[in-house]
Amino acid sequence: MNENKEINFIAVHYRQGHFSTNEAWRRLGIASPTKWKRMRIAAVTGGILFLSATAAVIYHQYAVTDNVQVETVEPKTTSPIFVVKVIDFENTPLPMVIERIKEVYDVEITNIPDNAEEYKLSLHYEGTAIDLVETINDILDTQMAVKQQ
């Protein structure tokens, strides 16, 4: 019944051309959006979308993945235990790190912790196997050691 009163009121008082949406917005204290204001809002929204898309592309292109990279530097001595090499680990489990150190430096690693699979390592390192294992020991608080094969 309430809805009918409102509809009847509008039907009785409505006069064509006497209602202005801009005037209604002004009376309510709300400025009606102008054409330029709407265009600025659309431009800002488009800019934000463009920047978001660009950031997504850059993130996807340079996203960090689980990988290992190795680069050999001129050996300073003849013993494999003192060969300086560059090695990278990104979020790599410790057993994989140990295997990669064995392959790259041709050494044995001893005192491997029993829970080695619980450790993960992200590291860029240039140096000898002994220094690398000591660095890993400092980072992970382990007691591993290097033994020449």
101 vs 146: CA distance, rounded Å: 10
3-state secondary structure of 2: helix
- What are the residues whose beta carbons fall under 8 Å from the beta carbon of 5, sequence distance 6 or more? none
What distance, in Å, lies between the first and last C-alpha atoms of the chain? Answer: 95
- What are the residues whose beta carbons fall under 8 Å from the beta carbon of 146, sequence distance 6 or more? 81, 105, 107, 108, 109, 110, 129, 130, 133
pTM value surpassing 0.75: no
When mean pLDDT is compared across 23-32, 75-84, 130-139, the lowest value belongs to 75-84
**Tens digits of residue pLDDT in 64-91:** 555 666 666 665 555 666 677 888 888 8
Q: Hey, which residues does 110 pair with through a beta bridge?
A: 145
Dihedral (CA of 58, 60, 65, 70) sign: negative
User: For residues 113-144, b (16+ Cβ closer than 10 Å) or e, as one string?
Assistant: eeebeebebeeebebbbeebbeebeeebebeb
**Is residue 22 scored above 60 in pLDDT?**
yes
